[in-house]
Amino acid sequence: MSRKDDGDIFVWITHDFLDVKQVMDKVRSPRCGAIVIFAGTIRDNFQGKEVKHLAYSSYETLALKTMQTIAEQVKEKHGLHKVAIVHRLGVVPIGEESILIAVSSPHRQAAWKGGAEMLELVKDRVEIWKLEEFGGEEGGVWRANRDGQAGVKVSGGTLDDARQLDPPAGGGLQDHTT
């Protein structure tokens, strides 16, 4: 697990099951009347195809720095009290969470807006990729961590081949960081 906790900002990347209550407790405060949590759950389909599971890979050191920067900026912009960003790596089965975003604020509007903005920035900028394995197909598709941005077919690959969880060689993965 890679983790950075600085008191009011908690960012971490793990291969373990994500515990919603643990993350909610990280941002809980008697000074706050609102906690907003987003739990990104693996669904069983994507664009009409059956999804077997997803596998996530990351450049962890850089991803943690990017997550920290996003957390700091959004926390300040919206006047949030505490924020947490947690992303899971490795194979994530259908129905389990791959990402948790939690924010606390004295008032709900700041929490809603800040949580939504944080999620979009994480999906757009953080150096995490996913391998989608579809039912009835060999290999998988690498994608940036934003829905709808197609990656490349992993030729002849299976999830077993991708257990190393490195993005495809040769620059096949699109860079969507800004």
Q: Give the Cα separation of 24 and 95 in Å (integer).
A: 19
Residue 107 assigned as binding residue: yes
Residue 123 assigned as binding residue: yes
Residue 31 assigned as binding residue: no
Residue 131 assigned as binding residue: yes
Binding annotation for substrate? 107-108, 123, 130-132
Binding annotation? 107-108, 123, 130-132
